[in-house]
Structure 1
Amino acid sequence: MAKVAIIYYSQTGTTHLLAKAIEEGAKAAGAETRLLKVKETAPDELWGNNPVWKQHIEETSGVPEASNDDLEWADAIIFGSPTRYGLPAAQIKSFIDQTGALWAKGALTDKIGSSFTSTATLHGGQEATILALNTAFYHWGMLIVSPGYVEPSQFQSGNPYGTSFTSQNGKLDPDEIAVTAAKLQGRRVAEITARFKGA
């Protein structure tokens, strides 16, 4: 059985919903999963004055925060982040920056990695963000599994790099196409990880 950690940051809930769909896909493939958020590092005065941001923090208070122990536990790690100027959010970058001890002892070598994202606007840097997240996997010596164009539904979602969705400035939740793509990505990562472990 593959052990899959889905580790994400979400400000208003879009990336959280994609993470849940990815977890559903991984579970459907028989994986043991951990759905984890990274620590909120923005000061209280920023998110406390934003009703949507504050509501999302309150609604996901029960989601555990990721730790290095979760990275060691996992056979596969799937990172999710909204796009910030074509880059991952600072919160998930902060989490990645605290993994030096794991990297130094080779604890993440030969694990499976995959990434997903959301943007407020069309062409807002989706592929760039996924590629930036994947860069950490390269440094850790991991193997990257993308959704690719392995099923017809991926031609609708249009992103072989990783699941992505445009929320139109937070007005839209992930649609059926995005949710289907997310489930496929979770399933594909779980299946390939299980196959790799059994080799």
Structure 2
Amino acid sequence: MGAKVAVIYYSATGSVHTLAEAIAAGAADAGAEVRLRRVPELAPDSAIDANPAWRAHVEATPHVELATHEDLLWADAYALGSPTRYGNVAAQLKQFIDTTGGLWAQGLLANKAATAFTSAANAQGGNESTLLALYNTFYHWGAFIVPPGYTDPKIFAARGNPYGVGHPGSEGGPSEATLAVARYQGHRLATVAARLVDSPALVAYAGQA
């Protein structure tokens, strides 16, 4: 049985969007049903217009549906993506996360597989700390974190980040090596999620709550 995977992200100039598409493709290759969703843009037009790449990306992606709580309830697994903001999660994605308290309080986000991805201006611009910040959310949700680790040679070819795919945005769009890791990470997430869905022990224990 294939898993249901929600890939939910925020992207300003397009790098995280490209990674999100690759993660979604990898999950689909593993037999998952996938929803690719973006969160709303919160920045004012004056800020967006000051960066032509930001404005171009906003205008190029209205076809991507906005994320809702229903996407989280539907999914067996989550992949959350954000560019770094001072080594932390962008406000746009964080705002969406901060609306999920009611779901969390009911235990509706627990026992699902989860992973994260990001992009910074350069290789040491906060990619790892942003991924770890996203994983803090998953700890509170009670999700099962699924990092890529060092489980495939592709990870070493893309600079070996075991926490999740991270792209140095100053190098332009994600390289093919980075996109290969993103596809692998999505495939791994969907594979683990499918095992959780099919786990009689997990289902039986959850039924005792």
Which residue is equivalent to 2:168?
166
**8 A Cα contact 2:9 2:39, kept in partner:** yes
* Match runs of 1:1-199 below 5 Å: 1-157=2-158, 158-168=160-170, 172-199=172-199
Q: What count of residue pairs does the alignment treat as equivalent? A: 197
Percent identity over the alignment is 51
Residue 68 of structure 1, CA deviation:
0.8
**8 A Cα contact 2:13 2:53, kept in partner:** yes
What does the per-residue CA deviation read over 1:58-91, in whole Å, with 9 as the maximum and x for residues that have no partner? Answer: 1001100101111111000100000111001110
Q: CA RMSD in A?
A: 0.9
Query: In 2, distance between residues paired with 1:173 and 1:45?
Result: 24
Counterpart amino acid of 2:169? S
Which residue is equivalent to 2:206?
none
* TM score, norm. by length of structure 1: 0.97
What does the per-residue CA deviation read over 1:26-56, in whole Å, with 9 as the maximum and x for residues that have no partner? Answer: 0000000000001101112211332211110
Query: In 2, distance between residues paired with 1:59 and 1:70?
Result: 22
Counterpart amino acid of 1:174? P
Tell me the SS of whatever aligns to 2:37: strand
Which residue is equivalent to 2:203?
none
Runs of 5+ unmatched residues, structure 2? 200-209
Runs of 4+ in structure 1 off by over 6 angstroms are: none
Tell me the SS of whatever aligns to 2:84: strand
Counterpart amino acid of 1:164? G
* TM score, norm. by length of structure 2: 0.92
Residue 138 of structure 1, CA deviation:
0.5
**8 A Cα contact 2:8 2:81, kept in partner:** yes
What does the per-residue CA deviation read over 1:82-111, in whole Å, with 9 as the maximum and x for residues that have no partner? Answer: 011100111000000000110111100101
Greater C-alpha radius of gyration: 2
Residue 20 of structure 1, CA deviation:
0.4
